[in-house]
Structure 1
Amino acid sequence: MRVQTEEWRRFVPGVRMYKGKKTFFYNGELIWDVDTIEDLIYDYDERQTWQVIMILPGVKVIPQHAFYECGNVKTVIMADTVERVEMEAFYLCENLVNIKLSTRLEYIGERAFSFCWSLTSIFIPQSCREICNGAFHSCKKLIILIMPQNIQIGQDVISKTKLSQVCPFIDPLGKGISEEIHEWIKNINADEIFKLHRICSSCHPSEHDIFSIVEQKRSLLSLRQPNSIGITPLEYLCANPFADIDQSKLVSRFVLKMMGETV
């Protein structure tokens, strides 16, 4: 679900159908009291009906436990004002698949996305400076994790994920030296041969840059070259919530170029 900049201006807080999905448009209010477990706005049963959560412009912090156990939410889209996601904000959102983080995000709290069992990928923007302990613990399908080089990472961030199963620095018991694990995550696509992977997984993928590399290699198969964890540039591009590239147009452009046509 893509949201154009001009669309944000029309949104008001509340729950309603949007593009065929029951959507909660969130403006930063407390939904329930963490200490007393008292529902303040929406009760537990209502929260289980939400399919999409849209964090509205102006919200800077997603509070602790804000969407704890919203079990049917599949998509979360954040406006670019969000700077912090606090502890366990999306804990046990077991059907969560699609997340578009704020491009100004600075902080992800402890266990913020733990036990999001359906989550396969997350792209963390360059603005983010810290990911706390267990942020993606037990996201058992998570294999794509893109993050900045200069980020501070806590303990057990990828424990019990699909990514942890292919990490050479984690033993069968799930143990490993954090520094080695973190450096490995950051540098999965560091080699020059994976330049296309880096572009397709960046927060600002360029169609021009992608086309240039594909043209240089003279083969669309370069988009299907797996890296060390088995992910192809095309898979990064398809999963990337920041990408707005028409893949069919890219393929057509390449075919015409190879045929000697003007593109």
Structure 2
Amino acid sequence: MKLTRWAEIVALGPGVRMHNGKKTLFWNGEKVRDEHTGEFLIYNREERDSWEVIVVLVGVEVIPQDTFCGCENIEMVIMADTVKRIENIAFSFCKSLEFIRLSRNLEFIGVQAFLFCESLTSIFIPSSCTEIDEEAFGWCTKLIILSVPQHTQLDENVIARTALVEASHFETNHYGNYEDFNEVNQWIKNINGDTDEFALHRACSSYNPITEIIHGIIKRQGLKAFYNKNEIDVTPLQYLAANPYADISQSALMKRYVLDMMGEVV
């Protein structure tokens, strides 16, 4: 699910084609929808509904308001690292969206950018992101993993009506909103705390997971640490499997651990 060969992707050029068995839009930033009228400028509704993957090509810096709103069959979005801003409701109502690889240089996520992305279960925010606006992931009902840097500003009700807020101890009103959003936002950032007990959770959920650090924790804590659940019942293995920035093999880590232990015994 992780596209890393950007040279090959860019060489294909922009447009719509089948790629890895999925109907894919390779998007170069061309304006596809009028943000004021909602009019489709290039692709009609039928065509938009046929897309399964969106690859945002190198050079695109902003995903404008409304651009992919309502593309109900998109399952995956992969962004080049040139993207800096995702504007309001850019991907809202993409109900089949399951996987997002954000730009490593992303700075801003707008209001309701991913509203009602009902199939989305995880999102990993890069350290470059300074602000996530209100209800950015509101009503993403299956969203349980949200990895956010400490310095990222979170506005009101970023996770309203998500599995994550349902797993918390916070009370919500009938709209799914919570009263003290500052308290909730701090809780989001500190789910894995700063103790050694959840060191592997933090390493596996990092936007820049490092094999040596993860191996060091496993060597210290044992393989059982992979299955340790945090307060929202998520394990390090689940973080690692969902992390779009992780190019780390679970089996390779386990094999290395076993070999190390055998060496110590010998």
TM range (shorter): over 0.9
Structure 1 portions without partners, runs of 5+: none
RMSD: 1.5
> What secondary structure sits across from 1:122 in the alignment?
strand
CA–CA separation in structure 2 for the residues paired with 1:227 and 1:48: 38
- With 26-35 and 12-21 compared, the bigger mean Cα shift is at 26-35
User: Which digits, 9 at most, give the CA deviation of each residue in 1:62-105, with x for residues without a partner?
Assistant: 01000011000000000000000000000000000000000000
> 1:246 is matched with which residue?
249
CA drift of 1:257 comes to 1.6
> 1:197 is matched with which residue?
201
> What secondary structure sits across from 1:10 in the alignment?
helix
> 1:230 is matched with which residue?
233
**Kept after mapping to 1: 8 A contact 2:97/2:120:** yes
Amino acid at match of 1:2: K
CA–CA separation in structure 2 for the residues paired with 1:171 and 1:76: 30
Amino acid at match of 1:208: E
> 2:83 is matched with which residue?
82
CA–CA separation in structure 2 for the residues paired with 1:234 and 1:12: 36
CA–CA separation in structure 2 for the residues paired with 1:130 and 1:65: 19
CA–CA separation in structure 2 for the residues paired with 1:77 and 1:143: 20
> What secondary structure sits across from 1:15 in the alignment?
strand
CA–CA separation in structure 2 for the residues paired with 1:251 and 1:44: 47
**Kept after mapping to 2: 8 A contact 1:169/1:180:** no
Amino acid at match of 2:19: Y
**Kept after mapping to 2: 8 A contact 1:88/1:112:** yes
What TM-score results when the alignment is normalised by the length of structure 1? 0.95
> 1:3 is matched with which residue?
3
Amino acid at match of 2:3: V
> 1:17 is matched with which residue?
18
**Kept after mapping to 2: 8 A contact 1:170/1:181:** no
Amino acid at match of 1:204: N
CA–CA separation in structure 1 for the residues paired with 2:171 and 2:92: 24
> 2:210 is matched with which residue?
206
User: Which digits, 9 at most, give the CA deviation of each residue in 1:41-79, with x for residues without a partner?
Assistant: 110110011010000000000010000110000000000
**Kept after mapping to 2: 8 A contact 1:8/1:57:** no
CA drift of 1:123 comes to 0.2
Amino acid at match of 2:199: K
Amino acid at match of 2:126: P
CA–CA separation in structure 1 for the residues paired with 2:35 and 2:261: 60
CA–CA separation in structure 2 for the residues paired with 1:203 and 1:8: 22
Distance 1:223 1:36, change over 3 A: same
CA–CA separation in structure 2 for the residues paired with 1:210 and 1:245: 10
**Kept after mapping to 2: 8 A contact 1:140/1:161:** yes
User: Which digits, 9 at most, give the CA deviation of each residue in 1:202-243, with x for residues without a partner?
Assistant: 0111111111111112x2111110011111001000000000
* Mapping 1:1-263, distance limit 5 Å: 1-4=1-4, 5-171=6-172, 173=174, 174=176, 175-192=178-195, 193-217=197-221, 219-260=222-263
